[in-house]
Amino acid sequence: MDSNEIIASLAQRVTENVEKVIVGKRREVEMTLIVLLCEGHLLIEDVPGVGKTMLARAIARSIGCTFKRLQFTPDMLPSDVTGVSVFNQKTLEFEFRPGPVMAQIVLADEINRATPKTQSALLEAMEERQITVDGLTYPMERPFLVLATQNPIEYEGTFPLPEAQIDRFMMRLSLGYPSAADEMHVLDMQRERHPIEEIDQVVTASELQAAQNAVKTIYADDLIKEYIVELANATRRHPDIYLGVSPRGSLALFRTSRALAALRGRAYVIPDDVKALLEATFAHRLIISPSARIKNVEARAVVEQISQSIPVPGTRIRAR
């Protein structure tokens, strides 16, 4: 089985399983799968009640990995996330009791309900795949994925995520309200019980790791890489942007473009793959300048403007 077949098989099984719960959101489910295949982290931002938590739970149930949920609240402490060392009076030694973050799939629900100090407890885990407690470092088991949900920052009782942390999310998604027909279907599905209870595991951890390795074999021409870098540089030069996309953002766009190409049945990246993922990977990393905020300029509008202003590269045959 070649790389495309490995990824396509996994994607089909997981997508069909998740769509038993999440109706009419095929694109959002695929985006979540792309982050999973690229070993990144996903931030789902939207108003309450549109299925953010259900999407995260359905993905976690579909994968044969350990799963823990963190419900963030204003009184939560960093040790509630990472764990704590407790003195054992029998052995006269300190023992580490791991927190919920020590799992392969971590659902950080309503992450912006916690204070910035607690939010930052996830920083090391997300980037370094390890945590440090009382001077001792504990590695995370692979694969490791943080699925975080948050309410819009203008909602009462929320704390904006620090720039350093939001940059560590590979993509940010919004689910939006369902169509009238999809909402009718949701009502019919939940007449007797919630469909999340019927979600079973359809992928093993070893299959997931094989698919993650297969994504790394997808070919991206130098012209595609130059296109990605030029898009990133355009955000750093734009007059409405105070802080543009970091190199981590360029890497996120590069990696996710390869995964999308594989989902589309190709062993190579085309410019359309890059453009399709530009907003999801770039918009949340941008900091709009104060003067632009007064004019209600949004990051998504700036990304769309940059997408239209940067010329798409031509094609070039790969040498054999």
pLDDT in tens, 85-108: 787 787 777 788 888 888 888 888
Superfamily of segment(s) 218-320: Magnesium chelatase subunit I, C-Terminal domain (1.10.8.80)
Does residue 2 carry a pLDDT above 80? Answer: no
Q: CA torsion 22→203→220→245, rounded to 10°?
A: 50
Separation of alpha carbons 282 and 277, rounded Å: 8
And the tokens for 254?
Answer: 């590069």
Q: Could you give the residue range(s) of every CATH 3.40.50.300 domain in the chain?
A: 1-217
The answer on pLDDT for 220 being more than 60 is yes
pLDDT at 153: 58
The per-residue pLDDT for 314 is 66
Domain 1-217, second-level architecture: 3-Layer(aba) Sandwich (3.40)
Segments of the chain assigned to CATH 1.10.8.80: 218-320
What's the average model confidence in pLDDT over 116-143?
Answer: 81
285-304: average pLDDT: 84
Instruction: State the pLDDT at residue 317.
Output: 45
pLDDT digits (tens, 9 = 90+) for 46-71: 777 777 778 878 888 888 777 888 88
pLDDT value of residue 70: 86
> What pLDDT sits at residue 253?
93
Flag whether pLDDT at 194 surpasses 70: yes
| Averaged confidence pLDDT in the chain | 83
The mean pLDDT of 286-309, rounded to a whole number, is 84
Confidence grade of residue 162 (pLDDT, cut at 50, 70, 90): confident
Q: Can you tell me the mean pLDDT for 143-163? A: 74
